[in-house]
Structure 1
Amino acid sequence: MAVLIVTENYLEFGLETGFTNFSDSAMQFLEKQGLESQGPVSKLTFKFFLAIFCSFIGAFLTFPGLRLAQMHLDALNLATEKITQTLLHINFLAPLFMVLLWVKPITKDYIMNPPLGKESVPLMSEATFDTLRLWLIILLCALRLAMMRSHLQAYLNLAQKCVDQMKKEAGRISTVELQKMVARVFYYLCVIALQYVAPLVMLLHTTLLLKTLGNHSWGIYPEAVSPSPVDSFPSNSIYSELPSADGKMKVTVTQITVALSSLKTIFTPLLFRGLLSFLTWWIAACLFSTSLFGLFYHQYLTVA
């Protein structure tokens, strides 16, 4: 809820613009239906339910973030090449880079209008910046997917650590207990893989939805948007040429067409841009914050 209070001058999601457009379109639709209303929902209620939904996402991503921090430390201890260590650090900081993409004073203002001397020369348009932001998120997700093997191998090496710890303990250790301990680590690997992949799938899902529903483009230089054939609904003259026996079907198809066009005017790309941008940012912020806390926990709060 504290994040939703931040103005658009610092965190530019487009939620205010999207909600205003949604509320105005809904009010116009209700007025056409002969209903008087101040809007479908107030801004405070909208942000309250959005905060509750984001709290569930944060709770879902807490344990995967803590687990990722432990695997990151183990993978760094196993890595011997500098390139692998650098990729591991970039992979760990990838959610932070995603979070900074929506911080307007840090990224957008300096990338779009960098101060060059006394004048600021615009390097790209706002649509190009949105496209580059989508591509950067996908590339960082691809890097995390490529580093999955190193993290899973680091988890499997916990069995060797447990064996070394058991050798230091006093008393005899049976072979059955040793096998159970190693098998327990191996069988839990599927859960670890799910904890590693699930946040990645959520992030990619919201990013692709942002591109599609937000009416963005994959091209660096977006082309002029031409009206799609889906937007042009068939007119009533086409239905008038049908036989009179299909009168009920004509009425039904006309009602469905009007309903679809009405929904399209209410749920506009401006609304989806603001909502999905915020959800993408929130998932990345939860991943980084929980991983950072897990890094602090495993390094300073646990006893080796």
Structure 2
Amino acid sequence: QEMNISVVWCLLVLAFAVKVLFSLTTHYFKVEDGGERSVCVTFGFFFFVKAMAILIVTENYLEFGLESGFSNFSESAMQFLEKQGLESQGPVSKLTFKLFLAVLCSLIGAFLTFPGLRLAQMHLDALNLATEKITQTLLHINFLAPLFMVLLWVKPITKDYIMNPPLGKESVPLMSEETFDTMRLWIVILLCALRLAMMRHHLQAYLNLAQKSVDQMKKEAGRISMVDLQKMVARVFYYLCVIALQYVAPLVMLLHTTLLLKTLGNYSWVIYPELNSDTPVENSLLPGSVYSESPPADGKMKVTVVQITMALGSLKNIFTPLLFRGLLSFLTWWIAACLFSTSLFGLFYHQYLTVA
């Protein structure tokens, strides 16, 4: 069984996206006069509490598969340790696992705070600039896209109505569970493509802040030098790179966690797969020939290859697709939830608090 090299590229892209958001967040912490530091810390604690509350919700409401994935991971790890002659109750307790997830979620929420707030402001400005109804509709769908993603994992709202639709006495599922999982992945990717397509409208709305500042200055009394006016206008254009990163980086994180979910979770891109093409969720052991073949004594390279293959096979049996399904489903859902929460707060702030 060969390793899918696309997993490495997705992990590298995720690492670079997180690094970019981390650099932008540390820049806000270096500002002493503004309140950006307090905003990041406040939202970080808010998302930590929110993550702890989400993690105690049962699978009947939020269908991540974390419980079954963690149980499978613990059982596989205990079996591996027993084969090595070690006695253990498991690699980590469920409480520690969820606490680690909550801390990770709080960091992700803190990183996505200002991208969400900025998106809300650009959304309002883009709506004011848009003249066509289709553009305004797409802007509204783009803003609500994270909410649609969040609802895809809310079992009573989506899956229960599709798998058990109220169509009289008989309950006929509209699609299979595998088809529903594939449709969910496609919907997330299509919404990410829509957000990427609407990027030009949002960046143009930000660039128009320079014109709005000049128009506002004309209404005020007093004079301003030409140099100060040029600096004020140029400041908007210089900051455009940061705005573009704040718009693209969360989108890249969301897209690549979805791709990792498809690959590591053994999902399929085919909406209606054949009956015999279903891939099993559990990873089986490597073929017996890998273990039974005894390479010659002088072939040190072959011995090393066999040892590495056996080690990778053991890791595959511990980190199963069931674990990756639960973990990556939760992370994908959480990124979308953070984006919508911060954007909704930013919309309320720019629409009401700033005016007041």
TM-score by length of 1: 0.95
The 5 A counterparts of 1:99-178 are 99-178=150-229
Indicate the SS of the match to 2:88.
coil
Query: Is 1:53 equivalent to 2:104 in the alignment?
Result: yes
Q: Residues of 1 paired with 2:225 and 2:75: CA distance? A: 72
Where relative contact order (Cα < 8 A, 6+ residues apart) is larger, the structure is 1
Equivalent position of 1:235 in the other structure: 290
Offset of residue 171 of structure 1: 1.5
Q: Residues of 2 paired with 1:172 and 1:210: CA distance? A: 58
AA in 1 matched with 2:67: E
Which blocks of at least 5 consecutive residues in structure 2 are unaligned? 1-51
Q: Return the match for 1:245 from 298, 302, 307.
A: 298
Q: In 1, are the aligned partners of 2:291 and 2:310 still within 8 Å (CA)?
A: no
Q: Residues of 1 paired with 2:173 and 2:279: CA distance? A: 26
Equivalent position of 1:197 in the other structure: 248
Equivalent position of 1:260 in the other structure: 312
- Deviation sequence 1:197-248 (CA, Å, 0-9, x none): 00000000100000000000000122414799x95475356553x4x422x3
Q: Residues of 2 paired with 1:236 and 1:22: CA distance? A: 23
Query: Is 1:3 equivalent to 2:58 in the alignment?
Result: no
Equivalent position of 1:293 in the other structure: 345
Give the number of aligned pairs. 300
Equivalent position of 2:121 in the other structure: 70
AA in 1 matched with 2:254: L
Which blocks of at least 5 consecutive residues in structure 1 are unaligned? none
AA in 2 matched with 1:21: N
AA in 1 matched with 2:62: L
Equivalent position of 2:329 in the other structure: 277
Query: Is 1:31 equivalent to 2:31 in the alignment?
Result: no
Offset of residue 252 of structure 1: 2.4
Query: Is 1:216 equivalent to 2:271 in the alignment?
Result: no
Q: Return the match for 2:94 from 39, 43, 52.
A: 43
Q: Residues of 1 paired with 2:88 and 2:291: CA distance? A: 30
CA gap 1:29/1:238 in 2 versus in 1, 3 angstroms? closer
Indicate the SS of the match to 1:11.
coil
- Deviation sequence 1:112-149 (CA, Å, 0-9, x none): 22110122111111110000000000000000000000
- Name the larger-Rg structure: 1
AA in 1 matched with 2:354: T
Q: In 2, are the aligned partners of 1:10 and 1:105 still within 8 Å (CA)?
A: yes
CA gap 1:181/1:249 in 2 versus in 1, 3 angstroms? same
Query: Is 1:17 equivalent to 2:78 in the alignment?
Result: no
AA in 1 matched with 2:113: T
- Deviation sequence 1:145-199 (CA, Å, 0-9, x none): 0000000000000001100111122212221111111111011111100000000
Q: Residues of 2 paired with 1:66 and 1:89: CA distance? A: 16
Offset of residue 111 of structure 1: 1.5
Equivalent position of 1:184 in the other structure: 235
Offset of residue 257 of structure 1: 1.8
- Higher mean C-alpha displacement, 215-224 vs 12-21: 215-224
Indicate the SS of the match to 1:97.
helix
Offset of residue 249 of structure 1: 3.2
- Higher mean C-alpha displacement, 73-82 vs 109-118: 109-118
AA in 2 matched with 1:33: Q
Percent identity reads: 87
Q: In 2, are the aligned partners of 1:27 and 1:40 still within 8 Å (CA)?
A: yes
AA in 2 matched with 1:259: A
Q: Residues of 2 paired with 1:210 and 1:183: CA distance? A: 42
AA in 2 matched with 1:145: L
Equivalent position of 2:354 in the other structure: 302
AA in 1 matched with 2:309: T
AA in 2 matched with 1:112: M
CA gap 1:237/1:52 in 2 versus in 1, 3 angstroms? closer
